Structure 1
Amino acid sequence: MFVIFGAGGNVGRVSAAALRRAGHDVRAVIHSAAQAGPLAEMGCEIAIADLHDRAAVSPALEDAHAVQLLCPVPRDNDDPATAMRHMIDVSVDALRAKPPQHVLALSDYGAEHASGTGITTLFHYLEVQLATVDARLTFVRAAEHMHNWARVLPLALSKGVLPSLHHPLEKRFPTVAARDVGALCAELLLDEEPPQRSPRVVSIESEERISAFDVARTISELARRPVAAQAVPREQWAAMLEGAGLGEQHARLIVDLYDAHNAGHIDVQAGVGERRFASTTLADVLAAIVPHGLMRSA
């Protein structure tokens, strides 16, 4: 049995589908019954579990051969760092009690840093805690997800301005499509060859690095209207993020992340693990997000 936590998300859903196509039993662990439909249709067993709930997480691990673990940053929590660490602690405790043969965890570029990288320090905590589980470990460190740009698409399309926290605007940075991360996770879960060392660290990004200028140009081409990248002044970051609905502490995690990103600290860890390069482009991802009616009428 392959157990996929976060199976309702962009990464987990792809992993679950790939494992089902390969003929394997999959338990899709989701946080809401509303996510169950497509997963049940592909033949997954459904388990509903809140990662804060020890009593719900443990049964989801029954008879697990391999587990794919995703601990999301809780956007709506006043203290997202503490809440995510609690989710990690609950998950790791359950895995210690019922260790499967293989645990694969979704991590992040820059997860080797214990401090100074905002949200990414939480993935460092995840990796450190999982090292106490008696199982074969794989950490998939993914670059920034291309889909994240969907958050500012409404502004880009309505105002013709793409706000960016990546400074300077011409700076090229690694990104990746969620579907490529999900496909890689399924491939690694199916790899029965024992790694030379555990944990196995695999980093994934797209074949081509991009800049904020590239993102703006791609949106402009898809929407057939001008869109210009605009660097948000550093002193306005927190207010902009809080104005978008994030709590003060969540905004601080993102500010610290982009400070680290712009300083060059969020990248592949030199000399550690394996690197994979994915073929999905930014245009491929954004073409599925930019409203199709808009493109037809332009």
Structure 2
Amino acid sequence: MFAIMGATGRIGGAAALELRRRGRAVRAIIRDPAKAVALAEAGCEITVADIGDTAALTAALGGVEGVLAICPLNPSRGDATAEARVSIGSLAQALEAARPPRTVAISDYGAQHATGTGVTLIFHHLEQRLAAIPGIAFLRSAEHMQNWARSLRAVTATGVLASLHHPLDKRFPTVSAADVGVIAADLLDAAGPPPRILHAEGPERTTAYEVAAALAGPLGRPVEAVALPRGQWDQVMAAAYLSEDYVRLITELYDAHNAGRIEVEGGDIRRGTTPLAEALAALVRPAA
């Protein structure tokens, strides 16, 4: 059996369903039982445990052959970094007590850097804290294609895609979140132990211009990519109900992106299969 944390999210949900598709037993670890209907219908064992409840999480991780470890971030809380560090500490204690033979922990591109990467520093800390866990592997995810959903309302209203990626023709790694889950399931279900550090990104890298073009089709209108001036980042992100601390973290992250620091470490890249246009079209349909 495999224990999947965050099983109602995009990554955890895709991993759980992929393992069930392969006929593998899955324990879906969730916080809200009301969101577990699809997982239960797929044959998952449902276990309720919050990452902050070390005792409950330890019990949920016990007796399995592999764990997908996901540390949630809350962009609306006052101090996202402090909250994440508490969650990481609880996760580490639970893994140390439960001792699963194999753990795949979701991390982030750029997690090798100890300074100057904003949100990604949380995942640097996660890797440092979990490094001594036996059988641990870190799957560093590129920026999720689904993150562009935050821009949909403004793009639909104005036809302008305001990008924090500068310059607009700079290619950057991106991946569908569901593909990260499928890659994680493959690593958990593999015959041998996975490499210590792996990276997940999509079939090809993209640019802000290509994101705008991919949105234009399903929206049924032209979309122009515009580099949002650096001095306007805070104002725009605050309007999206992000906490002041999280705005700072995102600002530092995109400064690092634009400096070329959010990159792979080594050459082990696992590629998802979902094209950018397909992922963005799926975002537009429910929004419409």
TM-score (norm 2): 0.96
Partner Cα distance (1:137, 1:33) in 2: 28
Q: What does 1:264-275 correspond to in 2, within 5 Å?
A: 264-269=260-265, 272=266, 274-275=268-269
Q: What does 1:147-296 correspond to in 2, within 5 Å?
A: 147-195=146-194, 200-269=196-265, 272=266, 274-291=268-285
Cα deviation, residue 210, structure 1: 0.8
Cα deviation, residue 292, structure 1: 6.7
Match of 1:71 in 2: 71
For residues 141-162 of structure 1, give each alpha carbon's deviation from its aligned partner in whole angstroms, at most 9, with x where no partner exists. Answer: 1110000001111110111111
AA paired with 2:204?
E
- 2:113 corresponds to 1:119: no
AA paired with 1:290?
V
- 2:138 corresponds to 1:139: yes
AA paired with 2:213?
R
Match of 1:58 in 2: 58
Partner Cα distance (1:87, 1:76) in 2: 16
Taking a change above 3 Å as real, the CA distance of residues 173 and 216 of structure 1, as seen in their structure-2 partners, is: same
Detail structure 1 runs of 4+ shifted over 3 Å in the superposition: none
Match of 2:83 in 1: 83
Say whether the 8 Å CA contact 2:103–2:137 is kept in structure 1: yes
Aligned residue pairs total 288
Partner Cα distance (2:286, 2:132) in 1: 48
Greater CA drift, 54-63 or 108-117: 54-63
AA paired with 1:281?
P
AA paired with 1:259?
D
Say whether the 8 Å CA contact 1:201–1:273 is kept in structure 2: no
Greater CA drift, 86-95 or 216-225: 216-225
Say whether the 8 Å CA contact 2:162–2:228 is kept in structure 1: yes
TM-score (norm 1): 0.93
Cα deviation, residue 273, structure 1: 5.5
For residues 116-135 of structure 1, give each alpha carbon's deviation from its aligned partner in whole angstroms, at most 9, with x where no partner exists. Answer: 100001111111111122x2
Cα deviation, residue 194, structure 1: 3.5
Cα deviation, residue 291, structure 1: 2.7
Partner Cα distance (2:241, 2:269) in 1: 35
Aligned-pair RMSD on alpha carbons?
Answer: 1.4
Taking a change above 3 Å as real, the CA distance of residues 55 and 76 of structure 1, as seen in their structure-2 partners, is: farther
Partner Cα distance (2:205, 2:233) in 1: 24
Say whether the 8 Å CA contact 1:181–1:204 is kept in structure 2: yes
Cα deviation, residue 260, structure 1: 0.2
Partner Cα distance (2:72, 2:169) in 1: 30
